[in-house]
Amino acid sequence: TGFAAAQDNFTFPDGFLLGAATASYQIEGGWDADGKGVNIWDTLTHERPYLVVDGSNGDVADDSYHLYMEDVKLLKDMGAQVYRFSISWARILPEGHDYKINQAGIDYYNKLINALLENKIEPMVTMYHWDLPQKLQDLGGWTNRELAIYAENYARVLFKNFGDRVKLWITFNEPLTFMDGYASDTGMAPSINTPGIGDYLTARTVLIAHANIYRMYEREFKQQQQGKIGITLLSFWCEPLTPNYVEACERYQQFHLGTYAHPIFSEQGDYPSVVKERVDANSKAEGFTTSRLPKLTSEEVNYIKGTYDFFGMNFYTAFMGLNGVVGGTPSRERDMGTIVLQDPNWPESASSWLRVVPWAFRKQLNWIANEYGNPPIFVTENGFSDYGGLNDTNRVLYYTEYMKEMLKAIHIDGVNVVGYTAWSLIDNFEWLRGYTEKFGVYEVNFNDPSRPRTPKESAKVLTEIFNTRKIPDRFLD
Ligand code: PNW
């Protein structure tokens, strides 16, 4: 029959890649080492430390710039098959532009990549995990469309130097999150207050940059290097508060995931029509002559459409949605017209936005599969925050319960999930939350200059899962 035995449903399919993830600014430190240029997180944390809850920064962080061999060893100990890490643009191109390459930066990532391969761990590289070279921010950052070309030039340097060995590439991590850097002066870097305007300009530049990189790889490298390129998008499940709010949640999906996924992954391409209609109408009502959502031309729509080999999915939590107009004028929140809240019965984490809702993972996987024609999905992030400690029972439950729902989506629903990297390998600099919220499966002692790493209970359970390739029986009910 077509039905697998019950326990098979909690086994990972052959070829499914398991591993862990990090990002450059959150772990590397070495902020001014060996010719690295300044980036927007260096600037934010140094010039406006009050924006970070504990006033901390990533100057040293986990010191992975020096201790990367420790990280490789942890991955090997776990039996990880893949390591998702990001490259610091300003470590490779100190001024952002490709006319000046920092050889020490190239050397660093070569050493890391080679060490991974020697240990049979596949490198998966994020090109941009939020640490824009300051020199490019000085030109307007992502609101400046020329960055779509500068990003392509940066990517070419990466393909030339690392593409012989790196076969899994992610252009951008969570543009939905970093576009907020242009929507408020108390948020993410560069922390500029142009809501409803700078964030939409960012979306367009990022979509064109992503397509430029994908098309350039096709023309110049793909035949020889045979790699795969995707983009990592953050999404949340939205459960209608009552059956009256199905449309409110659909709108929420389209304003969050759809803004980026529809142009790349849908058959029609372009921004979702509900996004175009609502931003255009609000802009007009607010007195703007030109819509705050800059449109993609039909050439751009076709150019962006289909530029993927896989769908990178970050998934953490869920909300309940209802109709309601909130947020400043103008703002994306107001444009969307959906209010979300979380059920107080859902277990909490250390992060205000993160509650534990395992069933929502299966629903969101199915939503993506249905909406975008069942693309290969690589879960590039999923994880849980607490305030620290080795006995992290809640994190163990988070991983096992979420993985079980993912395996149901694979085996029962036929969703094409091809890999999973846990966020995160090690405790690290959690952006505006500094070092207060811990996501690592390995603890790091940030008071010790040698930054020792110690496995938590969750690292042991992931080790067991990575080696047996199934959810242990004691977590099945
Ligand atoms: C992701 N939210 O960001 C990032 O890719 C990581 O760098 C980060 O450390 C991790 O998730 C944990 O936060 C998010 O507010 C930031 O919903 C914010 C949210 C979700 C993800």
Ligand 1 binding pocket mutation candidate from 421, 423, 424 (most atoms within 8 A of CB)? 423
**CA 7 to ligand 1 centroid distance, Å:** 32
151 Cβ contact list (under 8 Å, min separation 6): 127, 128, 171, 209, 212, 213
pLDDT in tens, 247-262: 999 999 999 999 999 9
Query: Residue 42: is it exposed, middle or buried by C-beta count within 10 angstroms (0-12/13-18/19+)?
Result: buried
Instruction: Give the residue from 386, 387, 382 showing the smallest Cα distance to 409.
Output: 382
CB 101 within 8 A of CB 92: yes
Query: Residue 66: is it exposed, middle or buried by C-beta count within 10 angstroms (0-12/13-18/19+)?
Result: middle
Q: Report how far residue 260's alpha carbon sits from residue 430's, in angstroms, rounded to the nearest whole number.
A: 24
436 CB within 6 A, ligand 1: no
User: Which of 28, 122, 250, 381 is an active site residue?
Assistant: 381
Quote the distance between the C-alpha of residue 282 and its chain's center.
Answer: 29
**CA 118 to ligand 1 centroid distance, Å:** 30
Instruction: Give the residue from 133, 130, 121, 204 showing the smallest Cα distance to 170.
Output: 130
Q: Which residue has the tokens 């920064």?
A: 57
Please name the residue whose Cα sits nearest to atom 18 of ligand 1.
Answer: 177
- pLDDT higher than 50, residue 352: yes
Q: Tell me the pairing of strands 453-455 and 442-444.
A: antiparallel
CB 188 within 8 A of CB 173: no
pLDDT in tens, 32-50: 999 999 999 999 999 999 9
ipTM score above 0.90: no
Residue type at 418? V
Average pLDDT over residues 297-318: 99
CB 95 within 8 A of CB 102: no
> What's the whole-number average pLDDT of the chain?
98
- pLDDT higher than 60, residue 395: yes
Indicate the pTM of the whole model: 0.98
**CA 174 to ligand 1 centroid distance, Å:** 8
Sign of CA dihedral 250, 255, 261, 266: positive
DSSP E strand stretches across 95-195: 122-128, 168-173
Please name the residue whose Cα sits nearest to atom 12 of ligand 1.
Answer: 430
% pLDDT > 90, the chain? 98
Residue 96, both tokens: 């952002």
pLDDT in tens, 315-344: 999 999 999 999 999 999 999 999 999 999
- Bridge partners, residue 423, by sequence: 21
